[in-house]
Chain A
Amino acid sequence: MSVKNFESLNTNTDTTTTRTLLHEAIPLTGAIVSGTYGQEASEDNVKNFTHGMFQSVYDYPYLSSSANHIFDITMGYHSTSPFSSSASEQNAKKINMYNEFAQVLLGYTGSANDIEIFESDLDFGDNDNQMKSCYFINFSRLLTKDQIKKGTFNLVLSTGSWAQGITAPSFPSGPNITLTDVSASATAGTNTKGNGGEYGVLYNNDFPNGTGYGLVFYQAGIAIITSSVWDTVAQNPGAANFYRRHADGFVQSISGAFTGSAISASCDALRHRMCNISFNNTTEINSSIYFCRASHNKFNYSTNPSYVSGSKIRVKQIATDNPVTYITTIGLYNSSNELLAVAKLSEPLKKTPENELTLRVRLDY
């Protein structure tokens, strides 16, 4: 009977690796970004900055230590957009913001290294379906983790008049529509050529013709919504009554919000049109699996002091009895016999010369 308690692992036959995808369902109720924690333009969970280039949204008033940052919103347009004009409010910043997102997420094109333009399709090189004026929603890494799960992104938007608010009915009885990346999956329906990783198209789920109104970048955790979503969809377009400025009650069109309002005010307008956002995130958990094999003639002895009594094995009544052990722990050692990890069994396993065991040890990291 062998008393050897160390067995070498064969790296070809006794070890393998595997990957588990852990997901979380992230529901973001629209109400918390549009009035739950204060009135428009002075909400306690929305932080504006003196630079005026974006605003940060939290899930709770941000002065509380409990609050988590959930996303940033900004907007911008390309220099060739109809909104681009020296008379437009924060014109340079809006152009810069668009260019920055386009550079980071898409990259450059042509011999002059021109910045790519977002398109509401999967081919950003064909110059059709261009989205030259957009909102950008940059989700926190806390929520997106490794990436947004493809095919799970849903954004319910209010496209009616500002007065109808986010509680209006959904299409077809009301003006609220759902933008979703329903055609994207782990194996199809995405573009992988951009600098910002894979992206899918956000289609208006309420129109079967499949018009794209935005993009979602899965690894970057960024959603892009074109301003034209308020021009062309739903029964009661909100293009003319896009935003009512809280300070003076002035009603703006979508065009006015992009040209006559600061970025922060335009972001306020979008937030008050977000009915709901939901997506699933993904975290990759890599694992090493070690198959620890105890053949019939091994591991039948224990070095536990309680295993023997008076130089006799406790579990043997007579000399011809088989030895019995109970396996409780597996130690993983390196080549220098240094203990690296210990695996505990939920309950001891009986081991005798009459049985063989293969214990599967899984190490997640």
Chain B
Amino acid sequence: MSLKKFKTNDIILNTMKTHPECEFFVFDGVVYYNNSPHPHSGAFSANVLNVSPGFISLYEYNIDKSKDINPFIYPFITKDSSGGSFKTAVCSQKNGVIADNEWIVAVPGEPLYGTYPQTASITRELLGQPTGSATAGTRAKMYTTGTAEDGTPTSEPTTVSGVQIYSEPTYRHYWSLRNRLNNYEYMSPHFAITGSLVGPNATGSWWDPASPMRGGVEVSWIKDQQIINLISIPSIFYGSTIKPGTVSLKWYFTGSLAGELQDTKQNGELIQVSGSSQGFASHAVGSDGTGSVAGVVLYNEGFILLTGSWALNDETIPLVKDDTDSYSPSWRYFGAGTQDGVTQATTATAFNSASFSLSFKGTTETQVMTMFANAKRGEVNYSNNPTFLEYGQDVLNKTSSVVYEENSSRLIKNTVSSSYTDYSASFKRQVYVSRVAIYDESRNLIGLATLSNPVLKEEDQDFTFKIRLDM
């Protein structure tokens, strides 16, 4: 074994960027991830992964488990002063008191439990009610109750310095994204919560006939007043960011493509690139919505917000949970059935005419260390393997209480292959390199690279072994 030190140019650090592709297909309230079929049933469980279709299971090692017969693997830690706890504490019961946070209930030294499998999938929320007055930004006004002079109770809107005070919003997920939407306005004006002023030549906003007003001036839109279709994508599916230009949303009606959105400008705008071309003269941009912006995608955060309300064809089907009314297929109903409770049972049988596809590429960055281990001629030509020497030679030359001397005349076994029978080739010094070990500065073994096949190195050969380490 030879120890050699890496030089400056022998170690290279790179970042490997990959773009894994994800596709979700939604049909009849069931999500299919990357065209995977439904997990099959096992001996103990009806679903060997123990997760719903469309979900992925972190670690995937509770396979074919059931609660009683083949119990689940579960994590736990011990409560101590370091304050470690699971992000989602399990509801527990102690002394007959049900607590919603076991951290509060447990005393130091007691275990805090978690559960597997941990799962993730896309979800859809319809922010607003198509048949009601609720919109994405709906908030209830706060009221101050009092008593009138005649003793009757009163209720007046609560104001501070003349400004109305509101209670918590109906759709909190939308409100948490408002700042991010405004932040990305530099990429596209379609991110803005409040659209641009309607200019003197504008004929009105086709995608919000109500012509929203702000400060007494007509603007092209106010997202607070719109019905928004919010699709949330957990980061485990896309890594650090969704790759711009790869997002595609397809709306299928009875199996035929009714419309497709793509972020062709790579700026977050989701532009309709194809439609069913059945003629919609009222659309300002395209006859069937083609070319119109139906929503935006937040690449870094993994959210898609769709506001496009134009009809994609002239059919109507039920698309809203607990609502048997029929609606024209539009982008605000894209993904209906994605963990949002919309099924045939909560709408009507005709809901199964709709199906949806969402695809995109993610981005992952992996730090890669490339090391070049040089074995120059005249180097790395000896092995500590006992078989490197001729068999049967004395190891020691002399040993006593004061002397320890190895046999210095031991012979190296000649491994040179001869081309002729009954003829031994002339001795040449050569080794077979089978492994390259990496040591730290203290000579601790920290890595080992094993070659698929040992490489013959003769004394007059230069070799460089390229070792790659993904971190």
Chain A residues engaging chain B, CB cutoff 8 angstroms: 18-27, 29, 31-32, 36-37, 59-60, 64, 66-68, 142-143, 285, 287, 360, 362
Contact = CB atoms under 8 A, between A and B. Distances in A.
B61 A142 contact: yes
B70 interface: yes
Nearest to B72: A27
Nearest to B64: A60
B60 A29 contact: no
Contacts of A362: 83
A220 B371 CA distance: 29
A66 B82 contact: no
A22 B73 contact: no
B42 A60 contact: yes
B49 interface: yes
Contact of A20 (B49, B64, B77): B77
Contacts of A60: 42, 48, 63-64
B148 interface: no
B75 interface: yes
A23 B76 contact: yes
B71 interface: yes
Contact of A21 (B49, B60, B78): B78
Contacts of B72: 27
A24 B75 contact: yes
A67 B63 CA distance: 7
B130 interface: no
A59 B60 contact: no
B77 A22 contact: yes
A66 B63 contact: yes
B420 interface: no
A36 B63 CA distance: 13
B180 to A, nearest CB: 13
B77 A37 contact: no
B264 to A, nearest CB: 32
A59 B69 contact: no
B399 to A, nearest CB: 10
B48 A24 contact: no
Contacts of A285: 84
A254 to B, nearest CB: 29
B74 interface: yes
A66 B48 contact: yes
A142 B80 CA distance: 26
A275 to B, nearest CB: 13
Contacts of A27: 70-73
Interface string B52-64: 0000000011011
B255 interface: no
Contacts of B279: none
Nearest to A58: B63
- Range, interface on chain B: 20 to 34
Nearest to B77: A22
A23 B43 contact: no
A21 B77 CA distance: 6
Given A23-B76, A66-B60, A67-B63, 6 more contacts: A22-B75, A24-B74, A24-B75, A25-B75, A32-B43, A66-B63
B39 interface: yes
Contact of B73 (A19, A26, A36): A26
Contacts of A21: 77-78
Contacts of A64: 48
12 contacts: A18-B82, A20-B84, A23-B111, A26-B73, A27-B71, A29-B70, A29-B71, A37-B43, A60-B48, A60-B63, A66-B63, A67-B63
Contact of B74 (A18, A25, A142, A143): A25
Nearest to B75: A24
B77 A23 contact: yes
Nearest to A362: B83
Contacts of B61: 59, 68, 142-143
A68 B60 contact: yes
Given A29-B70, A32-B70, A20 B82 contact: yes
B67 to A, nearest CB: 11
B73 A25 contact: yes
Interface in B67-104: 69-78, 80, 82-84
B411 to A, nearest CB: 22
B167 to A, nearest CB: 17
B59 to A, nearest CB: 8
A87 B154 CA distance: 102
A29 B69 CA distance: 8
A309 to B, nearest CB: 14
A24 B76 contact: yes
B76 A59 contact: no
Most chain A CB atoms below 10 A, which of B39, B73, B76, B80: B73
A68 B49 CA distance: 11
Contact of B75 (A23, A31, A68, A142): A23
B71 A66 contact: no
A30 B43 CA distance: 13
Contacts of A23: 75-78, 111
Contacts of A31: 69-70
A39 B111 CA distance: 40
B300 to A, nearest CB: 13
Nearest to A306: B179
A287 B77 CA distance: 15
A66 B70 contact: no
Nearest to A22: B77
A114 to B, nearest CB: 16
Nearest to A360: B83
Nearest to B86: A22
B76 A25 contact: yes
A121 to B, nearest CB: 30
Nearest to B48: A66
A36 B64 CA distance: 11
Contacts of B82: 18-20, 287
B39 A66 contact: yes
Contact of B49 (A18, A37, A66): A66
